[in-house]
Amino acid sequence: MTDFPAPSASPADQILTLRAQLHHHAHCYYVLDAPEITDAQYDRLFQELQALEQQHPEWVTPDSPTQRVGGVVLAAFAPVRHAVPMLSIRTETDTEASGAHAFDARVRKALGLADTDPAVVYVAEPKFDGLALSLRYQDGVLVQAATRGDGEVGEDVTQNIRTIGQVPLRLPAGVPAVLEVRGEVYIRRDDFEVLNERQRQRIAQGIKGEKTFVNPRNAAAGAVRQLDPGIAAQRPLSFFAYGVGEVTGAVAPWQTQWELLQALRGWGFPVTELAQRCAGAEELVAHHQKIGALRDALPFDIDGVVYKVDRLDWQRELGFVTREPRWAVAHKYPAQEQTTRVLAIDVQVGRTGKLTPVAKLEPVFVGGVTVTNATLHNELEVQRKDVRVGDSVIVRRAGDVIPEVVAVVAHSNDPTPQARSAIFQMPTRCPVCASAVVREEGEADHRCTGGLFCPAQRKQAILHYAQRRAQDIEGLGEKLVDQLVEGGVIRALPDLYRLGLMALAQLDRMAEKSASNLLQALEHSKQTTLARFIFGLGIRHVGEATAKELARHFGRLDALMEAPEEALLAVHDIGPVVAHSVRTFFEQPHNREVIEQLRACGVTWPEHDGAAPHAPAAGPQPLAGKTLVLTGTLPTLTRDEAQAMIEAAGGKVSGSVSKKTAWVVAGAEAGSKLAKAEALGIAVLDEAGLRALLQAF
């Protein structure tokens, strides 16, 4: 279904064809997670439809994929009375097996079953930790989405729900004339992490009114009840269907909850794969345990398992008491949020030099494990949440994500602000190596500047130095570096050149042959270039291209090491952030020592007296001043070869697409960079196009 409609078709037919194609591909992408076309192809179809609808606004219908975005900012949500009330579920707080047995016993008794009757069949589904939603379809078209509210009256949030790709805007032919689908809107854990990281960045950039979200459920609730649908559209909402409300105009084609789930899936709704039919209490317990074991690894939060009597006639017979059906129960898992006390706030240094404040906690059982440490992310977050030693705080642990302190619990009997301990401040020296700590303008994180020397960053420094584009030490990979550093064989970078065959051959898995190969590679790497050496130092913001500019400009390492910021700013393409970072790096005595030791070990490169900024290289420079981006796999050229050709022609190669990019060269399996280029209207070339470009001048 990737073809454009035949141009001879009438515009109305073209619109219908495009919509059908877009509906199909949205389902493949959002629900099945199995796209059949690229994002760029989807965008082309979408834009084609948009253009046609702009020419014929009278043909725009609410189920058109173009209507997922936009909408007007509301003053308030309109109330919606639910045709069928949205019930709540009785919770079984007893997280042990007895919870399931008690429920099964109640159901059997209410149905008047004897001990000799067969086991009751249930459907066990995850209890998603989001918020309940009712989607109303008339003649297969989504006409209204409403929150649960008090169960009788909810709010009309249709505009916001339309932005969720997983919610079908139209259903296949043959569905009941009125169909209300009930389910849960939620935010995936990974989407939540990205969302909160983005929020932390915005806070660091000083954007007013921004905050981080406590958990995915709150973020989802905020998005659903967002009056500006433009903002709601930026929140990564997902959806699972698990039930129905009003159904009219056809005999419902199901007799059980299980068949209902299959029907919903068949109509294009996302339905969990984790639902299972269970006969009797024992199978419920086994399922509860199975899902409990999977819980941390799931991509979304769940807070329990819902057991539902499978037969719908029995559900009707059982009915409900005070808004809670007698045919369902929620069997919980340990809570993912708990309160505890902050004993201290430590600072940890990560392998890239990032400093993270970490709360040391009175041990607390959260999300199934005992937690004693929780991240506070960065200084701004600690100060914004005003977390201090001695405070009671809410700790959240969900999945494999590091536990975090999400908020301080306000207590009426808290000491007065003056009596509380001091507000947290990041140290000005690295707690591991005592190098200077910096935070760049607009950045959330503090960093240690002793990259070459800091023990916390040792492994990263060695791997960066050894990589192909730096000293190219073949055979020195992550596992070996782990062994060398953890075994105390290497403490600092220069120790690499002091390795002996004996020490190496004694390491796990290190055969004598590969040990001597590594020694050879190390010896070989001593003859390098200034650009590679500078890149290998791992100075923040100094990538390969910048290292080349610095080498070309200064010619000698000493000249670079002594250069004041003004001199650095004179280098082509170097701005204040990079200049400051380079200066700070070389100001750290420990970094200088390491460089001296490397030279003493025999690491050397040809030097010259420096070049005028941007001295022309030999040959014509048709691409001077142009930046290109390479993405995907080219048919014959390797990335390095393509880059070398571009650089020989005076051009630069950058890792990211921006408005300044002159061309994007795309090969097979080009991803987001290609999409971005297309979005920004930047010219895209293939390999042949690149070759033509280089010859055209």
Closer to ligand IVH by Cβ: residue 130 or 650: 130
Q: Is 368 helix (H, G, I), strand (E, B) or coil?
A: coil
CA distance 662 to 646: 12
Paired tokens of 496? 């690499």
156 touches 77 (CB < 8 A): yes
Give the contacts of 6 (CB within 8 A, at least 6 positions apart): none
**Smallest gap from residue 156 Cβ to ligand IVH (A):** 18
Residue nearest to ligand IVH (CB): 132
Check the CA dihedral 540-541-545-551 and report its sign: negative
Any catalytic annotation for residue 526? no
d(CA 304, CA 101): 16
- In angstroms, the CA 274 to CA 125 distance is 6
Dist CA 494 CA 262 (whole Å):
63
One-letter amino acid for residue 158 of the chain = T
Give me the least distance between CB of 90 and ligand IVH, in Å please. 8
Closest distance of CB 366 from ligand IVH, Å: 21
Whole-number minimum distance, CB 112 to ligand IVH, in Å? 22
Which residue, 219 or 690, has its beta carbon nearer to ligand IVH?
Answer: 219
Strand partners, 349: 355
For residue 247, the Cα-to-chain-centroid distance in whole angstroms is 38
DSSP 72: P
| Listed residue (649, 647, 631, 648) closest to 687, CA to CA | 631
Rounded CA Rg of the chain: 31
Which residue lies nearer to ligand IVH by CB, 151 or 613?
151
Least distance to ligand IVH, CB of residue 46, Å: 32
Q: Cα–Cα distance between 600 and 694 in angstroms, integer?
A: 42
Q: By the criterion CB under 6 A, which residues form the site for ligand IVH?
A: 87-89, 125, 127-128, 132, 148, 184, 242-243, 306, 325, 328
Which residues on adjacent β-strands are paired with residue 331?
A: 92, 305
Q: Give CA–CA dist 553/373, Å, rounded.
A: 47
* Residue tagged 């209300």 (tokens): 180
Write down the number of H helices and E strands in the chain.
24, 24
CB of 253 within 8 A of CB of 262? no
Question: What H or E segment, with its residue span, contains residue 263?
Answer: helix 257-266
Our CB check for ligand IVH shows the closer of 130 and 494 to be 130
Identify which of residues 167 and 204 has a Cβ nearer to ligand IVH in the complex.
Answer: 167
Cβ distance to ligand IVH smaller for residue 123 or 545:
123
Shortest distance (Å) from residue 306 CB to ligand IVH: 4
Report the alpha-carbon distance of residue 423 to residue 363 in Å, rounded: 23
Looking at beta carbons only, is 260 or 470 nearer to ligand IVH?
260
**CA dist., res. 36 & res. 96, Å (int):** 44
Q: How far is the CB of 223 from ligand IVH (least distance, A)?
A: 16
* Residue tagged active-site, from 109, 127, 208, 290: 127
User: Helix 458-466 crosses helix 478-486 at what angle (to 10 degrees)?
Assistant: 140
Whichever of 186 and 554 has its CB closer to ligand IVH, that residue is 186
DSSP state of 442: T
Residues 6+ apart with CB under 8 A from 339: 364, 392, 393, 394, 395, 409
Burial zone of 460 (CB within 10 Å; 0-12 exposed, 13-18 middle, 19+ buried): middle
Instruction: List residues bridging with 180 in a β-sheet.
Output: 136
What span, in angstroms and rounded, lies between the C-alpha atoms of 254 and 531?
70
Distance CA 655, CA 545 (A): 10
Q: Please, what sign has the CA dihedral across residues 212, 215, 218, 222?
A: positive
Closer to ligand IVH by CB, 323 or 676: give it. 323
Nearest to 553 by CA among 571, 539, 536: 571
Q: How far is the CB of 337 from ligand IVH (least distance, A)?
A: 17
End-to-end Cα separation, the chain, in angstroms: 41
Positions marked catalytic: 127
